[in-house]
Structure 1
Amino acid sequence: ERDRLLAGPVQAQIDSADAAVARAQVAVDRAQAVLDRTILTAPFDGVVTAVNGDPGAIALPGVALISLADLDPLRVAVQVDEIDVRQVRVGMDARVRVDALPSLDLPARLESIALIPTIEGGIVTYDVRVVMTDAEPRVRLGMTAEAQVVTQRRENVLIVPNQYIRLDRRTGAAFVNLVQPDRSLIETPVILGLQGVDSSEVIEGLSVGDVVAVDLGSDALPGLGGG
C-alpha cells in the first residue's frame, strides 16, 4: 500500500478524474446558461416605461416584458412626403415644435431617413427621425410634435408672412397688397425666393419699410395660407 501511494495515481485514474472534472464543468456551464436567461440586460441606457410581467410568471413568446425608452436625447419621428424627401439629408438642422408647449422652438438635427417608404391610401411618405440637440425638461415622451427641416438658409433678406402673400395658382405669380400713403391698397407683384411654412423671402417687388396688408374684401386670388 505504501509503495502504491508513493508511486502516485496511474494514468487511467488521472484520465478518469479529468473526465469527471470536465463533466462537472459542463454541468456548471449549463446551470450558468439557465441563470443567465433569467437576467434581462438592456441593449442601451434608458428609462423603463412599462413592465409587463411579475416575478415568477411565465414569459410568453412574442410579448415584451419591459419597454425601454432612450430619453437622452429625445427624438421625434415624422413622415416626409416623397416629393419633399429628396430635399432633406442626414445632418441637416431642424426645429421642433411641441403642441403642448407652443412657445418653444427647439433646435434639432436630422438623424436618419428610412430607405423603404410607407404607403397609406396611395400617399407615399418616408419615416424621418429628428434628434433634439438641447435638453428641455418640459418635453415628455409621447407628446405630439412637428419638425421643420432647414433645407436652405438665407441671411439679411426681406421676408413677408405667408398670410400677406397671394398666389395665382395658374401662373405661379405672387402678389401683396401694398399700403399707400392714403391707406389705400395696391396689388403689387413680387418675386419670391425661399418659401417656408410661416414666411417667404421676397427677392423683388418690395423694399425695407414697405407696409403690406390683407385685403379682406378681395377674393381674386387664393392665399398661401401660411403653408
Structure 2
Amino acid sequence: MQRRSTLKVLLAGLLAGASLIAHAEGVKELSPPQPTLPAGQIEVIEFFSYGCPHCSNFEPLLVKWRAQQKPDVVVKKVPVSFGRAEWAALGRLYITLSALGQADNLTPAVFEAVHKDRIRLEDEKVRNDWLAKKGVDVKKFNDTWRSFSVDAQYKRAEQMSVSYKVMSVPNLVVAGKYLVEGGDPAGLSTVDGLIAKVRAGK
C-alpha cells in the first residue's frame, strides 16, 4: 500500500469533517457517509495513482472483478496525488484520457510505461511522444488537458481524497460509506460482501 507522506494533507483530511469508524477487519466506515449514486445503483470508487506500483499490480484483478459485476454496480476510478507533483500530473493524465474516452483502453499501457519502461509521463514532451505512438491525437489531448472541465475534475478528485479520508492507495469505497484497503483478492472479496449488504438494504 502506498502511504501519504505529508502532514499537510493529513491535517487537511482531519479538518474535512468526516471521520473513520472501525467496522470490521479491513473495513472502515465513513462518518458521515459521502454522497453517492441514486437508489438502485451501488457505487464502488477506486482511489489510485498511475504512480503507485501496488495500483499497477491491482489493476488486472480489478478489471476482471469489474467484468463480473451486476449492472447495478458502477465502478469509478479517482486519481490522487498526496501532494506529489508527478502524481498530480499522472492524475490529470487519467482525467484527460477519461474525457477523451480512452482511459479504459490505455490504462494498462500507462501502468506498463510508468513501472516497467520507466517512462516519465509527467513530463509533457515525453508524454506527447508516448501518446503519439499510442495513436492519440496529441493536440486534442493537450487542449483537453488544459480545459476548464479537466481542471475542475482534478480539483474535485483531490478534494474527494480528503473528504473520503484516503490515506493509502489502492483504496475502494463502497456506496460512499465503507472504505476497504485494496490491492489483493481479499479486499475484493470484502467489497463483494459489502455490495451484498448494500443491495439487501442492511
TM-score interval w.r.t. the shorter chain? Answer: under 0.3
TM-score normalised according to structure 2 size = 0.20
Bigger strand fraction? 1
Computing the radius of gyration from Cα coordinates, the structure with the larger value is 1
Higher relative contact order (CA 8 A, sep 6+): 2
TM-score normalised according to structure 1 size = 0.19
